[in-house]
Each structure stands twice: as structure tokens, then as C-alpha cells.
Amino acid sequence: MRPLDASGLPDVMDDDWPLDVSGLPDITDDDFSQWRARMARETMMGDEAIALGAVHAGLGGAFAYPGTPSTEIMETLQEFVKRQAEGKLDGVKNAFTAQWCANEKTAYESALGSSFAGKRSMVSMKHVGLNVAADPFINSALIRINGGLVVVVADDPGMHSSQDEQDSRWLADFARVPCFEPADPQQAYDMTREAFELSEKIEAPVMIRITTRLAHSRSLVETSAAKAQGAIQKPKVTKDWILMPANARRRWHEVLGKQPELQAMSSSSSWNPLSLKGEKLGVITTGLARQYWLENADEYAAAKGEIAHLHIGFYPMPEASIRKLYDACDEILVIEEGYPYVERQLRGIVAPGKKIMGKETGEIPYEGELSPDLVRKALGLPERKGLAVKELSPPGRPPQLCMGCPHADSYGALKEALKDYSQHAVLSDIGCYTLGALPPYNAIEATVDMGASIGMARGAASVGLRPTVAVIGDSTFYHSGLSNLIDAVSHNTNMTVLILDNDTTGMTGAQPTILPSSRLEPVLKGVGVHPDHIKVIRAHKNEHEKNVAIIKAELAHEGPSVVVMVRECLEALKKARKA
């Protein structure tokens, strides 16, 4: 049990004593256990725990673009904004803001500005979102952060809903930004609170890196009293915010100079506990991987004896603790989710000689998520077996577009419009419509990153491939398709952009698009697409013939054209009906 932080509780004055309780109903044990279950110790997803931790740390502003598995952080914050306004968010006296943004870069920059204003600020995103926000992220490490700035990045090992499984710890290291990696929702809550304190103490951004299973697994979280939000207070010295070369050189020198202190902090941090009980095998776990190790630890100890263990929940690497562990043991096993980050660093920290096992040596698989069974195998414990299907081999059930989804009708029209061309290219983007790659549609030929459809179609068209079509959703278009369209207008590229406008960010659970459908046409006109070649049509099979004819005409047009295919997302409709 952790000690309760009573700092935010009102003092009970002598005058108030004895309290008059005559009008209150009796509190039964049952009521009390209900209250305990609901208030102080709720089960929460990792994402929800981070949101609550931020609010309890005195959050002023939070900013994000939706992306699995990070989406629920902002969704929860927005729910908290409502509850706070109704006076139903316990102990949180000050209003705060929580906003969806056009993309991760704009979200990051908003958070940076909010920190400039002196408020505790958070930006959250999925791992590939940090690529989009890499410019402000890496440069913000050189700024003297004012209001605490916490960057939450949710990695997706196993690629449940992503195009890669990059490990954000490398980017934290690259930017020389300290990083927390929680093991469970409780740590997610506690670390979020601490990350704000640390950010203000060292005047630098602080990252919290989570992975899918932590983001979306629930367990009990004990919370402590909320802190009050700070006042608006600009930085005392703004030259540390002006990254012109002379300032940047000075700041980089200072940031590098701070690293030994962070190093020392890491080795003494309670998030990085070291136990030197055993002397044969030493295990290093990081973040969630600790849970998979713990699942097997008792059995290992019973079968093979005590084990030395270093857990890492805070980076930079706790080098002193690592050396102690290495010196005390015959061999080391590194268990971490994502890339072999600790494992590689380790080889640079300790003198060669002893065996270091992990992803690079194959004891732990290089790819995908960890599981209790994979860790079991790496520990040399006997495999567990359940039942097996006797004759059948259950075929996979790939995700698919909802019945009646407007994207299906859009792809139907596009495919027919293209069928008379012996050669064509359809480059698509990230969203539900990526499922157009699968049967029965088989309608798209590329999906790489947010906004790439228009850029790739433009590049292919520029070197002579025609007709070339980009297929992109409205939210992805605003995220980073727009700047590619500006290139197309500038170069008068022969290409057609199909914007599948369902007025929502569908794949992540129907968050509102940053601008409503009605703004799309003026935006297209505004960047200079010829008004005769902006066609707004209804994506419905009843309009199939008409839609095919319109797309065909635009495919033949010399220069950029945009066909906006409009119909509301069914998931969004369902969600609206529920609310």
C-alpha cells in the first residue's frame, strides 16, 4: 500500500469539531467498499491512468491527434473537461483544455506554447506520430522548458493497428530527453505525475513511453490528491526559447552537461530497482516486460534458484546499476518490448566477456509483442500447453469495412471508372479505407504514411504514369495531405485526388475531424484547385453511374482535380445515437 498524499485535503479547524453528522445517512461497510472501489482505487486502462495523472498533476493544456493505441488519453481528458465543468471531477478546481489537433506536429507545438505560457502541458500520440512531430520534439529538448511538458508516446509492437513497430525510446535518447516507461496502469498514473515535476525541475521535456498492452489493459489504480494548476507565467528569459545558432549552441552544451546528473538520477531512481539476490542469471526488464517476467518469476526461483534483477522504468540507462548487476552475475537476459534498446546500450556500457542474451541473440523474438510464454521460453522453463483444435485450422478473420460503409461505394465507383485503362495507379493512405486493399475491393496499391497518397500519386504522375489517383480520408487530408496538394497545384500535376469525406476520424473510433465537411471545398478552392475540377458527390451506390462518369471525366483532365466523396461514417452515426 502506498502512503496517501494528503497535501491537497482541506484542513479541519478546531471550530469544526465535533462535526455535526446528525443529518447524514448511516454509512454501511458496503457503501464504504463501493466508495473505495469507485473513487480511490478504480480500474483504469493505462491510457486513462495517464490522463488522470496529468489532471491530478495540475494540467493546463493537452493536445493530440488520434492514433491507436494512444487515442483514449485525449478521449479521457475531454471527458474530464466536461466533468470538471460540472464540478464532478474530485478535487480539480481549475478548468483545463484538451484539444484534438490537425496532426501530431501541430499538437506538439500547441503544447510547447502552453508550456511557454507557464502551464503544465501534455501532448500524446502514437509512435509514428512522433515522426511527424520529430521536428518540434527534438528541438524542444534545447529549450528551457517553462510549464512542465510531458510527451506521451504509445508504441505498437506487434503492429495491431500500425504500419511499423518503431521504439520511441530511441527518439528520446536521440533528443537527450529523459523517458519513463510504466509497467502497469498504477505506474502510468504515478509516473505521469512525476514526469511533470521532473520536467519543471530539469527544465526539459519528458517522455512517457507506453506500449499497446499497457495502453489498453485495466487494473486497479490508487490515486492521490490533485494539485492546483499554476498561473500564467511566461519564461523569465526568452532567449532560451529562441533557437538561433548562438543560443542553440549554448543550450545544446547545457543539455549535454545535464546528462551525468540524469544518469545518476537513473541509477538511484526508485523506478529502477536492483536486486542482487542471485549470482548466476541476471535479468533486466523494462516497462511492461516486468509483468511477463513476474508471471514466471516464482516458478523460476523454485526450479532454478534466486535470480538477480534490475528493472528499468526510467531512462537514461542506469549505468551504475547495470555494472553492478553485470559484475554480480554470470550471464544477463534482457527482456524488453520493442527494439533491443537496452540490450544494445548494454553492450556499450559493460566490458565484453559475459554472455548477454535478448533479441539480438534470439532468446527473445526480435519482432512482435512479448507474452508470458515467450518470456517463459527465454528463461528455459517448460512450455505450457492448452488444448488444440483437432482437424480444423481456424482461418483468420481479417478486419473489414462495416456493412454499408460509404468507402465501399467509393471504391466501387473508382474501380469502374478505371477499368478501361490498361495502366493506372491508385495510391492510398492511413485510415479505414486502407481496408480497400483486401478482397472484395482490391482497389489500392500503396499505403505508407499519413498524407503520402497525394505526394506519391503526384510523384508517379510527374514522371509520366497516368492516370494516377490518390485516395485519402478527410481527417488524413487535413493531417498532412494538404501540403502535398499544394505541390500538385503548383506544378499543375496531372492527377486526381479522391477525398473520402465521412466527416470523422473513423478508424480510431470516430473522433471529430479538425474542420467540418463544409470547410473542405473552400479549402480546396483556396489553395488553387480549379473550381471546375472540384467535384463534391455523394458516396452511395444509388448514385453509382453518375459518380463513375464524374470520376472518369476528372481522370481525363489535364492538371490536378479533386473528387470529394461525401457520406457520414456509420460508426460515427452509431456513436452519436448512443450519446
Partner 1 sequence: MKYDIVLCGVGGQGGISVSVVIARAAMAEGLRVKQSEVHGMSQRGGEVLAHLRLSDKEPASPTIPLGSASLILSFEPLEALRYLPWLNAEKGVVVSATTPLKNMGTYPETEKVMSELSALPNKILLDADAIAREAGNAKAGNMVLVGAAAKLMPIKPESIEKAIRELFARKGEQVVEANLKAFEYGRKANS
- Region binding partner 1 by CB under 8 A among candidate stretches 167-175, 238-246, 383-391, 419-427: 383-391
> For the window 448-487, what string marks contact with partner 1 as x by the rule CB under 8 A?
----------------------------------------
Contact of 194 with 269, CB cutoff 8 Å:
no
Considering only residues 270 to 329 of the shown chain, the ones binding partner 1 according to CB under 8 A are: 288, 291-292, 294-295
Task: List CB contacts of 198: < 8 A, sequence separation 6 or more.
Answer: 148, 178, 206
Cα angle for residues 443, 445, 449 (degrees, 5° grid): 115
Can you spell out the DSSP letters for 414-459? HHHHHTT-SS-EEE--SSGGGGGGSTTT---SB--STTHHHHHHHH
Nearer to partner 1, 273 or 509 (CB): 509
Least distance in Å: CB of 571 to partner 1?
Answer: 8
> For the window 485-514, what string marks contact with partner 1 as x by the rule CB under 8 A?
----------------------xxx-----
Interface pick for partner 1 out of 402, 482, 523, 527 (rule CB under 8 A): 402
Interface pick for partner 1 out of 15, 29, 383, 532 (rule CB under 8 A): 383
The size of the interface with partner 1 (CB under 8 A), counted in residues, is 53
214 binds partner 1 (CB under 8 A): yes
Residue 77 to residues 98, 164, 428: CA-CA distances in angstroms? 6, 27, 32
Contact of 286 with 333, CB cutoff 8 Å:
no
Residue 306 corresponds to which amino acid?
E
Least distance in Å: CB of 14 to partner 1?
Answer: 38
Least distance in Å: CB of 340 to partner 1?
Answer: 21
Residues, the chain: 579
Kind plus residue range of the DSSP H or E element containing 192: helix 185-202
Residue 533 corresponds to which amino acid?
H
218 binds partner 1 (CB under 8 A): yes
Interface pick for partner 1 out of 385, 422, 526, 542 (rule CB under 8 A): 385
Nearer to partner 1, 114 or 212 (CB): 212
Least distance in Å: CB of 399 to partner 1?
Answer: 4
Least distance in Å: CB of 272 to partner 1?
Answer: 19
Considering only residues 166 to 185 of the shown chain, the ones binding partner 1 according to CB under 8 A are: 184
Interface pick for partner 1 out of 87, 353, 439, 464 (rule CB under 8 A): 439
Least distance in Å: CB of 380 to partner 1?
Answer: 16
82 binds partner 1 (CB under 8 A): no
Cα angle for residues 158, 272, 167 (degrees, 5° grid): 25
In angstroms, the CA 434 to CA 443 distance is 9
> For the window 28-47, what string marks contact with partner 1 as x by the rule CB under 8 A?
-----xx--x-----x-x--
Q: Within a 13 Å sphere around the CA of 330, how many CA atoms are in the beta-carbon half?
A: 5
In angstroms, the CA 175 to CA 170 distance is 9
Task: List CB contacts of 375: < 8 A, sequence separation 6 or more.
Answer: 289, 292, 293, 295, 296, 335, 364
3-state secondary structure of 194: helix
Least distance in Å: CB of 15 to partner 1?
Answer: 39
Nearer to partner 1, 365 or 522 (CB): 365
Considering only residues 53 to 72 of the shown chain, the ones binding partner 1 according to CB under 8 A are: 68-69, 71-72
Can you spell out the DSSP letters for 345-379? HHHHHS-BTBEEESTTTTSS-SSS---HHHHHHHT
- Region binding partner 1 by CB under 8 A among candidate stretches 138-146, 229-237, 315-323, 389-397: 389-397
Least distance in Å: CB of 390 to partner 1?
Answer: 6
442 binds partner 1 (CB under 8 A): no
376 binds partner 1 (CB under 8 A): yes
In angstroms, the CA 105 to CA 92 distance is 29
Nearer to partner 1, 145 or 152 (CB): 152
Interface pick for partner 1 out of 6, 24, 232, 392 (rule CB under 8 A): 392
In angstroms, the CA 427 to CA 445 distance is 6
Q: Which ranges constitute the DSSP H helices of 44-101?
A: 46-56, 71-85
- Tell me: cis bond preceding 399? Omega within 30 of 0 counts: no
- Region binding partner 1 by CB under 8 A among candidate stretches 87-95, 212-220, 458-466, 540-548: 212-220
Nearer to partner 1, 34 or 238 (CB): 34
Nearer to partner 1, 509 or 528 (CB): 509
Least distance in Å: CB of 435 to partner 1?
Answer: 7
Interface pick for partner 1 out of 4, 27, 220, 556 (rule CB under 8 A): 220
Cα angle for residues 45, 146, 174 (degrees, 5° grid): 65
- If one counts every other C-beta atom within 10 angstroms of the C-beta of residue 538, the result is 14
3-state secondary structure of 150: strand
Q: Within a 13 Å sphere around the CA of 385, how many CA atoms are in the beta-carbon half?
A: 4
Interface pick for partner 1 out of 23, 394, 464, 526 (rule CB under 8 A): 394
Least distance in Å: CB of 1 to partner 1?
Answer: 12
SS3 sequence, 297-326? HHHHHHHHCCCEEEEECEECCCHHHHHHHH
In angstroms, the CA 55 to CA 76 distance is 10
Interface pick for partner 1 out of 400, 446, 489, 528 (rule CB under 8 A): 400
| Residue 435 cell numbers, joined | 481496408
| C-alpha of 364 from chain center | 24
Nearer to partner 1, 405 or 461 (CB): 405
Q: For 330, list phi and psi in degrees, rounded to 5.
A: -80, -35
Least distance in Å: CB of 214 to partner 1?
Answer: 7
387 binds partner 1 (CB under 8 A): yes
Interface pick for partner 1 out of 15, 391, 420, 532 (rule CB under 8 A): 391
410 binds partner 1 (CB under 8 A): no
- Region binding partner 1 by CB under 8 A among candidate stretches 357-365, 399-407, 458-466, 486-494: 399-407
* Interaction site with partner 1 (CB under 8 A): 33-34, 37, 43, 45, 68-69, 71-72, 160-161, 184, 213-214, 216-220, 288, 291-292, 294-295, 371-373, 376, 383-392, 394-402, 432, 435, 439, 507-509
